[in-house]
């Protein structure tokens, strides 16, 4: 966890408004992103958590800090607002406009929500961190959600580490409590407002909406004594073990949302089920995440940079 410690101990300097910028406006700018401190911090954070959850169940024992509890309260608030904002009658089946009403509430209250999580002495960071929270719940114009929004939530958590709100010993709770609860809220949004997948590749993509839980979920399975990659397409295995494994939670949601043969609606996952070991699945998914998400201009053009996640190049 050296990378995690470095993130946490990184000195924080507050910059005046405007807080965050979109720096990737053309395809050639992608090189700037891949050389940036933000990219190094972000991928380091993802890989550190990947290592931390290796071989562990969602239901294992781990520390739940006060900050984690506050984050769960924040996500519970977002969940409650969905209940308070039912879908409206409209001709179009997808993209229910009630989502925009829900999003306005998030937009207005984001800084207040984040201020409950960030230590008082780092309160100057709240407006910057709140932007990542707002970016993590989908797009209110298109009423869609995808891996770029998921990345914004991971960036939100990364920033909380950089200001010391989350610490090294929160690693398991970050994935198993906070991120898992975030997934539940996003799935509820997707169902309630029939959100479109943002930038989906259809059957050629890994999943319509998420990617990170497949990476961390495959790491959970590394060296598992009985469950192998080919088992995740077995509904009996999924139903019996989804409460312990994030990967199977994802498969369960896909099975609930899609009809027809699994090989047809989720071809990439079907192919992955033939990989001989979970460690190879995990390594392959990390490579795929970099190639299909972090190195794709349509995703990264929306990413915002500031003083916590900086576009400045990594020091040589």
Would the pLDDT of 255 be above 70? yes
Q: What is the pLDDT of residue 162?
A: 95
Would the pLDDT of 307 be above 70? yes
The mean per-residue pLDDT over the stretch 134-156 comes to 96
Q: What is the pLDDT of residue 21?
A: 87
Residues 6+ apart with CB under 8 A from 28: none
The residue segments making up the domain with residue 219 are 21-305
Which tens digits make up the pLDDT trace of 43-101?
999 999 999 999 999 999 999 999 999 999 999 999 999 999 999 999 988 999 999 99
E runs forming strands in the chain: 21-22, 144-145, 196-197, 304-305
Domain membership of residue 4 (yes or no) is no
The mean per-residue pLDDT over the stretch 181-200 comes to 93
φ and ψ of 35, to 5 deg: -90, -5
Structure tokens at 172: 């398991």
Domain membership of residue 8 (yes or no) is no
Q: What is the pLDDT of residue 209?
A: 93
Query: pLDDT class for 315, splitting at 50, 70, 90?
Result: confident
Question: Do residues 300 and 18 make contact, with C-beta atoms less than 8 angstroms apart?
Answer: no
Number of domains in the chain: 1
The larger pLDDT score, comparing residue 2 to residue 196, is at: 196
**218 closest CA partner among 289, 296, 154:** 289
Q: State how beta strands 196-197 and 304-305 pair.
A: unpaired
The mean per-residue pLDDT over the stretch 105-121 comes to 96
Domain membership of residue 2 (yes or no) is no
Q: What is the pLDDT of residue 17?
A: 45
Q: What is the largest CA-CA distance in the chain?
A: 56
Q: What is the pLDDT of residue 20?
A: 82
Looking up residue 118, the CATH number of its domain turns out to be 1.20.120.1150
The mean per-residue pLDDT over the stretch 213-238 comes to 97
CA distances from residue 138 to 22, 26, 94, 186, 246 in whole angstroms, order as listed: 17, 22, 14, 9, 21
Domain membership of residue 310 (yes or no) is no
The mean per-residue pLDDT over the stretch 237-264 comes to 95
d(CA 219, CA 54): 5
This prediction's pTM? 0.93
Question: Do residues 207 and 144 make contact, with C-beta atoms less than 8 angstroms apart?
Answer: no
Question: Do residues 291 and 52 make contact, with C-beta atoms less than 8 angstroms apart?
Answer: no
**117 closest CA partner among 159, 84, 83, 78:** 159
Which tens digits make up the pLDDT trace of 126-142?
999 999 999 999 999 99
Would the pLDDT of 277 be above 70? yes
Query: pLDDT class for 280, splitting at 50, 70, 90?
Result: very high
Average pLDDT, the chain: 92
Query: pLDDT class for 304, splitting at 50, 70, 90?
Result: very high
Q: What is the pLDDT of residue 12?
A: 47
The answer to whether the Cα torsion of 229, 235, 236, 238 is positive or negative is positive
Half-sphere exposure (Cβ direction) of 240: Cα atoms closer than 13 Å = 8
Q: Where are the alpha helices (DSSP H) in 22-177?
A: 30-34, 37-52, 66-83, 98-115, 126-135, 147-162, 171-173
Query: pLDDT class for 1, splitting at 50, 70, 90?
Result: very low
The alpha carbon of 116 is separated from its chain's Cα centroid by a whole number of angstroms, namely 21
Structure tokens at 211: 């990617």
Query: pLDDT class for 227, splitting at 50, 70, 90?
Result: very high
Q: What is the pLDDT of residue 16?
A: 44
The mean per-residue pLDDT over the stretch 273-281 comes to 97
**1 closest CA partner among 63, 55, 53, 59:** 53
Domain membership of residue 7 (yes or no) is no
| End-to-end CA gap in the chain | 21
Counting residues of the chain whose pLDDT is more than 70, the rounded percentage is 92
Domain membership of residue 76 (yes or no) is yes
Would the pLDDT of 233 be above 60? yes
Domain membership of residue 122 (yes or no) is yes
């Amino acid at each position: 966890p050296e990378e995690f410690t470095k993130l946490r101990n990184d000195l924080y300097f507050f910059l005046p408004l405007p807080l965050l910028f979109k720096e990737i406006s053309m395809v050639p700018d992608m090189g700037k992103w891949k050389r940036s401190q933000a990219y190094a911090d972000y991928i380091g954070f993802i890989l550190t958590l990947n290592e931390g959850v290796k071989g562990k169940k969602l239901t294992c024992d781990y520390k739940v800090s006060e900050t984690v509890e506050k984050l769960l309260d924040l996500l519970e608030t977002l969940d409650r607002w969905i209940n308070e904002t039912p879908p409206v009658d409209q001709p179009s089946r997808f993209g229910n406009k009630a989502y925009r009403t829900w999003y306005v509430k998030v937009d207005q209250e984001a800084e207040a929500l984040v201020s409950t999580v960030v230590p008082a002495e780092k309160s100057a960071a709240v407006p910057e961190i709140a932007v990542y929270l707002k970016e993590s719940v989908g797009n209110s114009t298109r009423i869609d959600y995808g891996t770029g929004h998921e990345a914004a939530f991971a960036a939100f958590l990364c920033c909380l580490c950089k200001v010391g709100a989350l610490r090294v010993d929160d690693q398991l709770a970050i994935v198993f409590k906070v991120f898992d609860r975030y997934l539940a809220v996003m799935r509820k949004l997707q169902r309630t407002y029939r959100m479109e997948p943002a930038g989906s590749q259809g059957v050629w993509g890994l999943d319509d909406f998420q990617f990170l839980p497949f990476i961390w979920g495959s790491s959970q399975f590394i060296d598992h004594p009985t469950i192998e990659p080919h088992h995740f397409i077995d509904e009996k295995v999924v139903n019996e073990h989804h409460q312990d494994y994030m990967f199977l939670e994802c498969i369960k949601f896909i099975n609930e949302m899609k009809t027809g043969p699994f090989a047809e609606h989720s071809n990439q996952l079907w192919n992955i089920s033939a990989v001989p070991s979970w460690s190879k699945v995990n390594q392959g998914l990390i490579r795929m995440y970099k190639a299909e998400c972090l190195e794709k201009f349509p995703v990264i053009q929306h990413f915002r940079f500031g003083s916590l996640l900086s576009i400045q190049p990594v020091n040589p």
